[in-house]
Amino acid sequence: MTRSYSNVKLLLFGTGVGALYGIFIRLAFGSHSLNQFVGVMSVAFLFVMPFVCGFLAVYFAEIRQQQSVAVWLLAPWLTVLGGCAVMILFLIEGWICIIMYLPVGLAFSSIGGVIAGLIARNKRLKRVGSVTTACILFLPFVFSPLESSLLNRRDIRTVENVIDIQASPAAVWDQIKTVPRIRKHELQRSWSHRIGFPDPTAATLSYEGVGGVRQASFDGGVLFIETVDVWEPLHRLAFSIHPQTAQIPNTTFDEHVTVGGPYFDVLRGEYRLEPLPNGKMRLHLTSWQRVATDFNWYAHLWTDAVMSDLQKRILYVVQQRAESNRIAH
């Protein structure tokens, strides 16, 4: 019983040190004085930092008392979850960033925990454990200044969704050129909305034809100015998109996921109507996005998924309205 209680204290100490280290790195990487050298939207923060947190959580416990492999894998999660809880509690990060961070944070903290366990258990490596730990503590600061020149990329992503609508081309066209106020019950349930992305609310059009300006609005003060550059009635509508980033309140998006910011932007949108042999209309909705991070291979998984979820919701509203108008007439 005493041994078990002692081990719990060791684990709590280790995970506490790991969590405090993670919080310190977040505050340091987010400070204006260090922002030109290191940043939160970096491989050093998203991947290396949780690795170090997990390492610390296990190492301080393992050198005093042998732990199981399950502890190596799972104890580091407490450092990540504890740090995230503090970020949410003190409004340092929003739910969107936390949800996107957790998969890699938990995975890399476990890797750090396993490495720490192997080092602490190996007698030869244990002799230089303090030196190894000191070197690992500085990994985020060493890696971050180097990664931008090596890893930063600017990718253009394309996301397309389609829906079949039992209505005439004119009925569908009427629902896409402008969008009257969308009521909450018209929207499908959405996982992206639950983690913080705002609902679409309406889209107006200054005049019909090339050069017309659509204003697509969302909850939370989010507004997109869309300039029509393709106008083919009953067939195709396309437009460039300019998010009004400066007008978006800080309470809607945090700085790391703001549309039109340095890491993500929506560039173009297009509706295309395709007649089907069965008399239905297939409506295509395509968007083009810019993703510019040091970890685009991971970031685009989220941006593609969020855009696809949003487009499906918009297409559903168009479908329901077009089909309802057909029945009404």
Taking residues 250-274, what's their average pLDDT? Answer: 82
Same-domain pairing of 190 and 43: no
Name beta bridge partners: 162. Answer: 284
Q: Are 162 and 282 in contact (CB under 8 A)?
A: yes
Same-domain pairing of 64 and 173: no
pLDDT of res. 123: 63
Domain ranges, residue 245 = 153-328
SS3 176: helix
Same-domain pairing of 304 and 216: yes
Same-domain pairing of 219 and 313: yes
- In the chain, the number of structural domains is 2
pLDDT of res. 34: 66
Rounded to whole angstroms, how far apart are CA atoms 185 and 221? 20
Boundary (domain end) residue, out of 107, 133, 151: 151
pLDDT in tens, 1-42: 455 657 788 888 888 999 999 999 998 888 776 666 677 888
Lowest mean pLDDT among 51-65, 126-140, 204-218: 126-140
Same-domain pairing of 108 and 161: no
Percent of residues, the chain, with pLDDT higher than 90? 58
CA 328 and chain centroid, separation: 41
Residue 328: pLDDT over 60: no
Same-domain pairing of 19 and 107: yes
Percent of residues, the chain, with pLDDT higher than 70? 89
Same-domain pairing of 21 and 145: yes
Same-domain pairing of 233 and 280: yes
Same-domain pairing of 107 and 242: no
pLDDT of res. 207: 94
Rounded to whole angstroms, how far apart are CA atoms 120 and 236? 64
Rounded to whole angstroms, how far apart are CA atoms 188 and 316? 7
pLDDT of res. 62: 86
CATH code assigned at 290:
3.30.530.20
Boundary (domain end) residue, out of 94, 118, 151: 151
Higher pLDDT, 4 or 271: 271
Task: Name the residue with tokens 């007698």.
Answer: 123
Going by C-alpha positions, the residue among 243, 323, 240 that lies closest to residue 283 is 323
Average pLDDT of the chain?
Answer: 88
Same-domain pairing of 93 and 206: no
Higher pLDDT, 87 or 152: 87
Same-domain pairing of 284 and 302: yes
SS3 192: helix
Taking residues 231-241, what's their average pLDDT? Answer: 97
- State both tokens at 89: 């509690």
Boundary (domain end) residue, out of 151, 177, 203: 151
Q: Are 111 and 54 in contact (CB under 8 A)?
A: yes
- Grade residue 251 by pLDDT with cuts at 50, 70 and 90: low
DSSP state of 259: T
- Grade residue 329 by pLDDT with cuts at 50, 70 and 90: very low
Q: Are 145 and 90 in contact (CB under 8 A)?
A: no
Q: Are 58 and 113 in contact (CB under 8 A)?
A: yes
Q: 6 phi and psi, to 5 degrees?
A: -60, -40
Rounded to whole angstroms, how far apart are CA atoms 64 and 54? 17
pLDDT in tens, 84-134: 999 999 888 888 889 999 999 999 999 999 999 988 887 665 555 567 777
Same-domain pairing of 131 and 168: no
pLDDT in tens, 40-50: 888 999 999 99
Rounded to whole angstroms, how far apart are CA atoms 164 and 134? 60
Q: 226 phi and psi, to 5 degrees?
A: -120, 115
Higher pLDDT, 157 or 11: 157
Q: Are 248 and 221 in contact (CB under 8 A)?
A: yes
Q: At a CB cut-off of 8 Å and minimum separation 6, what does 226 contact?
A: 203, 213, 214, 215, 216, 239, 240, 241, 242, 269
Residue 196: pLDDT over 90: no
